[in-house]
């Protein structure tokens, strides 16, 4: 038997979450955001699973798109940060990639490039997040210049919301308003132009953001984008299960300590189970004592500091724990967001920074 630390990815769950995204999207089209190795779930297996459900995949950069092409994925792919050089534009055009244009340099590159096939361009407006995008005042000028280029096949207008995960925050309304106002004149002249605003949170909580294309990422993996409970999250099926097994059990007396730095002190005679998973496998070192961990489907608590290869659990209140028992760090029965909170982070970060160390199992 080998080390029992595994990451199981349920591809049916991802397909079901994508169908749920499509049901929320109504007439809008869904692109599947599979950047950062499909949020740590494996870009190629995820893309294969979703290829019959979506018309467009979305990644951050050329390298991520070419990995998909090398894996035999032929679906069009959108690059969210666009291209970083004229050479990349050539590669994008040759590989059926679509590019975001979010600044003037990228426009200039597109003007000067000599592409064999024209590319579809997603012109990004900064509607208030102030991360990427041109000013709304420049929309018409950029659009008209793009339209004249032989290198440009089609133009879609897009923006990104900063606080869609906070359903009470009026920022989303202000951003959608600014975006609509910025593109109004352009749309009068070119009424066929399609638009895209929504990420997962917007798709789930802001119906007015749906437009013609929606861009869900995190929800495809069954992870809620919201910090607070949201009714739509009940329809998400977690795709990643991070699991291991108990490899040692011991009794400690009151006052004895567990782990590096002796941060955990037994308040009573306790039973401690050692599990073969640590920060070297992607379990967050920042997780505090008390973080929930499932042992035989019962809740136990992290006791002391996370080591590179192991964690210790207080299993005093669980009946009958044995070496070899199943442990779920997060997954179908324990939401990754709950663990993330104990480590002062979000589920997005935990799943995207999983190292390759743990064995991966894909369920079709
Ligand atoms: C990552 C990203 C998305 C997907 O966001 P989720 O919160 O994972 O749904 C959508 N649009 C842009 C521009 C992104 O960078």
pLDDT tops 80 at residue 1: no
Q: Which of 93-97, 210-214, 316-320, 335-339 has the lowest mean pLDDT?
A: 316-320
How many Å apart are CA 115 and CA 296, to the nearest integer? 58
- Helix crossing, 104-112 with 86-94: angle to 10°? 70
Q: How far does the centroid of ligand 1 lie from the alpha carbon of residue 58, in Å? A: 9
pLDDT tops 90 at residue 149: yes
Signed CA dihedral, 79, 81, 82, 86: sign only: negative
Q: CB of 127 closer than 6 A to ligand 1?
A: no
Q: Is 39 a catalytic residue?
A: no
Pairing of β 57-59 and β 32-33: parallel
pLDDT tops 90 at residue 205: yes
Mean predicted lDDT score pLDDT of the chain: 97
The rounded percent of the chain whose pLDDT value lies above 70 is 100
Mean pLDDT on 141-167 = 97
Q: Which of 15, 35, 124, 245 is catalytic?
A: 35
Nearest CA to ligand 1 atom 10: 199
Backbone angles phi, psi at 43, to 5 degrees: -65, -40
Q: CB of 33 closer than 6 A to ligand 1?
A: yes
Question: Which atom of ligand 1 is the closest one to the Cα of 158?
Answer: 13
Q: Where are the alpha helices (DSSP H) in 113-168?
A: 139-148
Mean pLDDT on 98-114 = 97
Nearest CA to ligand 1 atom 4: 217
How many Å apart are CA 350 and CA 339, to the nearest integer? 9
Backbone angles phi, psi at 76, to 5 degrees: -55, 150
Q: CB of 78 closer than 6 A to ligand 1?
A: no
CB 316 within 8 A of CB 230: no
pLDDT band with cut points at 50, 70 and 90 for residue 135: very high
* 8 half-sphere exposure, CB direction, 13 A CA radius: 17
CB 4 within 8 A of CB 310: no
Q: Where are the alpha helices (DSSP H) in 41-191?
A: 43-50, 62-70, 86-94, 104-112, 139-148, 171-189
CB 245 within 8 A of CB 4: yes
Q: Is 260 a catalytic residue?
A: yes
Strands (E), the chain: 6-10, 29-30, 32-33, 57-59, 77-79, 97-101, 119-124, 152-158, 194-196, 213-214, 240-252, 257-258, 264-265, 270-275, 292-295, 298-302, 311-314, 326-330, 359-363
How many Å apart are CA 103 and CA 132, to the nearest integer? 8
Q: How far does the centroid of ligand 1 lie from the alpha carbon of residue 172, in Å? A: 15
DSSP track, 17-63: HHHHHHHHHTTSEEPEE-HHHHHHT-HHHHHHHHTTT-S-EEESSHH
Q: CB of 216 closer than 6 A to ligand 1?
A: yes
Q: CB of 100 closer than 6 A to ligand 1?
A: no
Element (H, E) at 14: helix 11-25
Q: CB of 40 closer than 6 A to ligand 1?
A: no
pLDDT tops 80 at residue 283: yes
pLDDT digits over 233-280, tens only? 999 999 999 999 999 999 999 999 999 999 999 999 999 999 999 999
Mean pLDDT on 45-51 = 98
How many Å apart are CA 106 and CA 99, to the nearest integer? 10
Other Cβ atoms within 10 Å of 320 Cβ, number:
8
Q: How far does the centroid of ligand 1 lie from the alpha carbon of residue 358, in Å? A: 26
For a pocket test of ligand 1, which of 80, 161, 221 has the largest count of ligand atoms closer than 8 A to its C-beta? 80
Nearest CA to ligand 1 atom 6: 217
Mean pLDDT on 59-75 = 98
Signed CA dihedral, 277, 278, 280, 282: sign only: positive
Mean pLDDT on 34-41 = 98
Q: How far does the centroid of ligand 1 lie from the alpha carbon of residue 79, in Å? A: 12
Q: Could you tell me if residue 96 is left (phi over 0), alpha (psi between -120 and 50 degrees) or otherwise beta?
A: left
Pairing of β 194-196 and β 29-30: unpaired
pLDDT tops 90 at residue 319: no
Mean pLDDT on 118-144 = 98
Q: CB of 50 closer than 6 A to ligand 1?
A: no
pLDDT digits over 207-240, tens only? 999 999 999 999 999 999 999 999 999 999 999 9
How many Å apart are CA 161 and CA 333, to the nearest integer? 30
Q: Angle CA(276)–CA(220)–CA(334) in degrees, nearest 5?
A: 35
């Amino acid at each position: 038997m080998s080390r029992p630390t595994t990451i199981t990815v349920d591809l049916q769950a991802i397909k079901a979450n994508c169908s749920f995204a499509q049901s929320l999207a109504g007439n809008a089209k869904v692109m599947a955001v599979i950047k950062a190795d499909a949020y740590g779930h494996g870009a190629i297996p995820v893309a294969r699973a979703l290829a019959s459900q979506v018309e467009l995949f979305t990644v951050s950069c050329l390298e991520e798109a070419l990995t998909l092409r090398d894996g035999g994925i032929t679906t069009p792919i959108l690059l969210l940060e666009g291209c970083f050089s004229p050479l990349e534009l050539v590669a994008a055009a040759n590989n059926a990639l679509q590019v975001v244009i979010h600044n003037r340099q990228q426009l200039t590159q597109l003007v000067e490039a000599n592409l064999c096939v024209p590319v579809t361009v997603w012109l990004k407006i900064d509607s208030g997040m102030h991360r990427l995008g041109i000013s709304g005042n420049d929309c018409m000028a950029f659009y008209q210049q793009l339209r004249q280029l032989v290198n440009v096949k089609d133009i879609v207008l897009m923006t990104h919301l900063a606080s869609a995960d906070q359903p009470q925050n009026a920022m989303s309304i202000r951003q959608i308003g600014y975006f609509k106002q910025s593109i109004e004149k352009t749309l009068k002249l070119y009424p066929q132009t399609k638009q895209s605003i929504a990420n997962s949170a917007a798709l789930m909580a802001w119906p007015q953001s749906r437009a013609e294309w929606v861009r869900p990422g995190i929800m495809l993996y069954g992870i809620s984008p919201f910090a607070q409970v949201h009714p739509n999250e009940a329809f998400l099926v977690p795709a990643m299960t991070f699991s291991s097994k108990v490899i040692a059990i011991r009794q400690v007396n009151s006052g004895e300590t567990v782990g590096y730095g002796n941060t955990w002190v037994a308040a009573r005679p306790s039973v401690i189970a050692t599990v073969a998973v640590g920060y070297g496998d992607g379990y967050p070192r920042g997780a505090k004592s008390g973080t929930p961990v499932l042992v035989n489907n019962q809740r136990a608590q992290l006791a002391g500091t996370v080591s590179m290869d192991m964690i210790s659990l207080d299993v005093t209140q669980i009946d009958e724990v044995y070496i070899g028992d199943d442990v779920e760090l997060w997954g179908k029965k324990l939401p990754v967001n709950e663990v993330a909170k104990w480590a002062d982070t979000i589920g997005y970060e935990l799943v995207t920074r999983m190292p390759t160390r743990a064995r991966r199992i894909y369920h079709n």
